[in-house]
Chains A and B, each alone.
Chain A
Amino acid sequence: MSKVVEISPTTRHEGHTKLTMQVDDNGVVTRGDWLSLTPVRGGIEKLAVGKSMHQAPKISSRVCGICPIAHTLAGTEAMEASIGCIIPDDAYLLRVILQCANRLHSHALHNILSLPDMYIPGTDTHINPFTPEEPVRSVALRIQKLREVGQTVGEIVGGEPIHPSNPPRVGGMYKNISPPRAQIKIYDLAKEALPLAQDHMDFMISVFKDWDARPMASVAGGKEVEKTEKFGFHDQGYMASDTLYGSSSLDLDQKWYPERWTEVRPWDWYQGELEVSLEDPDYPVGGTTPPVGTKVWPAMEACTGVPLYDGAPIETGPRARLAMFRNYDRKGAMGLQIARQMEYMDCLYSMIEAVEALDTNGKVVADEIPQGDGSLGWAANEAPRGTDVHLTKVLNGKVEWYSLLVPTTWNFPTVSRALEGAPWQLTEVIMRAYDPCVSCATHMMVVDDSKKVVAQKLFQ
């Protein structure tokens, strides 16, 4: 007989979500919903209307502090696409460096979040990143160093690693970096990080492969359960616009297609009203949603829209990029984790290539910045978590219409599908493999915050 169990809140990812699942007698998920509970802080898209095209990307940057670069770049480039502004080459190169730096730090940060589920290979010890003991201590220090490199490069090129201030601006960047010191500093940092990233990638991949090969596993020291063979598999397609940077409607060869995108409301997608009928007070730490009998209603509670590509949910992120452009074919939750680690080296090599190509005396702002005639422009940025598409219409320098399609929003329904067939105790591992960024994913209005009800059915 089917039972309903709920993990709320979920942990070790950005933002606030829950997993509401129907499970069979063996505790295997038959239908799962993973949904955002993050109350939307005002709805960036509505707020941006009427603001200047220079301000809107700086507001959308504040959607997320882990991947602000993605939102700043996608926002700025959507504005540029709408007004038809081509930026100088050196501005583009600076943006590429910034993009690489952000991805490096974000992936390294996500390692910290994922590791506690994993085991030191060949042992039954869960990895606690906070332990002062080896070998974990050196791994933690290595992660810190990689993040430091990412953030420092972001600081030099972006003015600020969290919410880049200096660049980017509509039409390019505010400043080029100063020769030769800043350029050399970026070189040095990237070269310093290269061998570390290589070792780290190897280590992380061995950890994830080790987990994948285990017949039993637990979530961060909880009860051991039997794993299923196709753990975290789904049949949804992939979406990516580039391996590293992105695409926009200004490109000759566009790699994202707005006509393939539709959006439905959670009302049409998530489960209706349910009653919790299974409770596990031992689920680490603090148990699942008590008590039995609690009413839950995913369709009304979810705070995200549900974007579809070709009428179906898709996966976006590191694996989508590798699958679409590099023939990567490993499936499941660990397949995604491994794909993420495989991006480390590309971040650093691309950073070095871009800084080599950069002319630090070059122009970084377009000579002419048109004010826009209201045409639609979009830009897709390959954020650490996947394709971040911003669409906008700019008229006379003001934003007329703005929409954000953020990676984790795309992944929400896909993850919900990927939960099926997994023991419910391990569903957080699947969700975590997507490196969710839930504040990114959420942009609608909360009507009644105390009841956490979002009036999306009523919301036009």
Chain B
Amino acid sequence: MVLGNYKNCVSARAADPAILSASQDGGIVTQLFAFALEEGIIDGAVVAGPGDEPYKPEPVVATTVAELMEARGTRYTICPNVSMIKEATRSYGLDKVGVVGTPCQIQAVRKAQLYPMGMRSVGDKIALAIGIFCMENFPYQGLETMVEDLCNVKMESAVKMDIGKGKFSVYTARGAVSQIPLKMTHKFEQPGCHVCLDYVANLADVSTGSVGSPDGWSTVFTRTKKGETIWGGKAIEAGYFETKPIADVKPGLDLVTKLATDKITKNQKTLDERASFGVDKGLRNPYI
């Protein structure tokens, strides 16, 4: 169950080369939202758009494909997407809201749907929730230190960052690649990530990430009826994606399962330790 409930899993990438030109992996999120916008499945989506500083994302409500394109690429720092889901139904006047987020953000969306505290008429307007795999996240200052000090790259020069194969890599516009072992990044991790028990966005309609598929491709889980209809029934049929069965690609689901198990085991241990953190007292556990 470390991969959550799902109906189907494939390796896929967007058919539109314009999307792929700057996407992190297979351009799944951008392509799927673009498709949903064109089809009227959503009338806008909360995505991580460009912020004031390089690689500092800002949640925005995108209502055009052009705005979606601006949000391509992973920014390894916090972007409070859930802060915009209510606003999307307010001054933006959306009736069908798309939202992308890390596993914790998808959890927040689902919780807001079931227990809408101060979330009046938001729940029934969530039309499509796309989750992205997430091992951990970094505060902006942590990311800055990793890129500027440890990788020796100016933030302004970076065009892509990537965590994979045990390394944190930064690519510059002029073609340089700078890498550090992941071990060096651990102290910059956001402490709240250490109690997270979800790797592949178990609660999303569709979740996607790089692990398990080759470079330029993404691993995609379709989880809910809605996700299945939109992805399998419509987008694939209309030719928006190229797909391969996940069993035919390397490293495939085995690696996804291994990383998910590692994350959950490690963080469960952190959670367990919180119970006896002090002497005769512990720290709060949000899961009980």
Chain B neighbourhood of A166, CB < 8 A: 87, 90-91
Q: Is A182 an interface residue (CB 8 A)?
A: yes
Q: Assuming A178-B92, A181-B43, A182-B91, is B61 touching A155 (CB within 8 A)?
A: no
- For window 96-141 of B, CB contacts with A under 8 Å fall at 120-121
- For window 146-204 of A, CB contacts with B under 8 Å fall at 152, 155-157, 159-162, 166, 175-178, 181-186
- The count of residues in chain B whose C-beta lies closer than 8 Å to any C-beta of chain A is 14
- The count of residues in chain A whose C-beta lies closer than 8 Å to any C-beta of chain B is 19
- For window 64-100 of B, CB contacts with A under 8 Å fall at 87, 89-95
- State whether B91 touches A177 (Cβ < 8 A): yes
- State whether B91 touches A181 (Cβ < 8 A): no
CB proximity of A263 to chain B, nearest CB, Å:
36
Q: Is B24 an interface residue (CB 8 A)?
A: no
- State whether A181 touches B90 (Cβ < 8 A): no
- State whether B92 touches A181 (Cβ < 8 A): yes
- State whether B93 touches A176 (Cβ < 8 A): no
- State whether A160 touches B120 (Cβ < 8 A): yes
Most chain A CB neighbours (cut-off 10 Å) among B44, B90, B95: B90
CB proximity of B124 to chain A, nearest CB, Å:
13
**Main DSSP-derived SS at the B contact region:** loop
Q: Is B63 an interface residue (CB 8 A)?
A: yes
CB proximity of B132 to chain A, nearest CB, Å:
26
CB proximity of A124 to chain B, nearest CB, Å:
41
Chain B neighbourhood of A175, CB < 8 A: 87, 91
- State whether B120 touches A181 (Cβ < 8 A): no
- State whether A177 touches B93 (Cβ < 8 A): yes
Task: Provide the bound-state CA to CA distance between A157 and B90, in Å.
Answer: 7
- State whether A156 touches B120 (Cβ < 8 A): no
- State whether A178 touches B61 (Cβ < 8 A): yes
CB proximity of A314 to chain B, nearest CB, Å:
36
Q: Mark B141-178, 1 if CB is under 8 A from A, else 0.
A: 00000000000000000000000000000000000000
Q: Mark B26-46, 1 if CB is under 8 A from A, else 0.
A: 000000000000000001100
Chain B neighbourhood of A177, CB < 8 A: 91-93
Query: For residue A184, which residue of chain B has the nearest CB?
Result: B93
Chain B neighbourhood of A181, CB < 8 A: 43-44, 63, 92-94
Give the residue of B93, B95, B120, B121 whose beta carbon is less than 8 angstroms from that of A178.
B93
- State whether A156 touches B43 (Cβ < 8 A): no
- State whether B94 touches A155 (Cβ < 8 A): no
Query: For residue A94, which residue of chain B has the nearest CB?
Result: B91
- State whether A155 touches B89 (Cβ < 8 A): yes
Most chain A CB neighbours (cut-off 10 Å) among B43, B87, B91, B92: B91
Chain A neighbourhood of B89, CB < 8 A: 155
Task: Provide the bound-state CA to CA distance between A152 and B89, in Å.
Answer: 10
Task: Provide the bound-state CA to CA distance between A177 and B93, in Å.
Answer: 8
Chain B neighbourhood of A161, CB < 8 A: 120
Task: Provide the bound-state CA to CA distance between A178 and B43, in Å.
Answer: 13
Query: For residue A182, which residue of chain B has the nearest CB?
Result: B93
Most chain B CB neighbours (cut-off 10 Å) among A176, A182, A183: A182
CB proximity of A18 to chain B, nearest CB, Å:
33
Chain A neighbourhood of B94, CB < 8 A: 181
Task: Provide the bound-state CA to CA distance between A186 and B87, in Å.
Answer: 16
Chain B neighbourhood of A159, CB < 8 A: 87, 90-91
- State whether A185 touches B91 (Cβ < 8 A): no
Chain B neighbourhood of A182, CB < 8 A: 91-93
Query: For residue A158, which residue of chain B has the nearest CB?
Result: B90
Q: Mark A399-430, 1 if CB is under 8 A from B, else 0.
A: 00000000000000000000000000000000
- State whether A155 touches B121 (Cβ < 8 A): yes
CB proximity of A442 to chain B, nearest CB, Å:
26
CB proximity of B40 to chain A, nearest CB, Å:
12
Query: For residue B90, which residue of chain A has the nearest CB?
Result: A159
- State whether B43 touches A176 (Cβ < 8 A): no
Chain A neighbourhood of B61, CB < 8 A: 178
CB proximity of B220 to chain A, nearest CB, Å:
29
- State whether B92 touches A155 (Cβ < 8 A): no
CB proximity of A220 to chain B, nearest CB, Å:
32
CB proximity of B65 to chain A, nearest CB, Å:
16
Most chain A CB neighbours (cut-off 10 Å) among B44, B63, B93, B121: B93
Task: Provide the bound-state CA to CA distance between A184 and B43, in Å.
Answer: 13
Task: Provide the bound-state CA to CA distance between A152 and B61, in Å.
Answer: 19
Q: Mark A297-320, 1 if CB is under 8 A from B, else 0.
A: 000000000000000000000000
Given contacts A159-B87, A182-B91, A182-B92, 16 further A-B contacts (CB under 8 A): A152-B121, A156-B93, A157-B91, A159-B91, A160-B90, A166-B87, A175-B87, A177-B91, A177-B93, A178-B61, A181-B44, A181-B63, A181-B92, A182-B93, A183-B93, A185-B95
List 23 A-B pairs, Cβ < 8 Å.
Answer: A152-B121, A155-B90, A155-B121, A156-B90, A156-B93, A159-B90, A159-B91, A160-B90, A162-B120, A166-B87, A176-B91, A177-B92, A177-B93, A178-B63, A178-B93, A181-B43, A181-B44, A181-B63, A182-B91, A182-B92, A182-B93, A184-B93, A185-B93
Q: B-contacting residues of A (Cβ < 8 Å)?
A: 152, 155-157, 159-162, 166, 175-178, 181-186
The 3 lowest CB-CB distance pairs between A and B, nearest first, are A182-B93, A178-B92, A185-B93
Q: A-contacting residues of B (Cβ < 8 Å)?
A: 43-44, 61, 63, 87, 89-95, 120-121
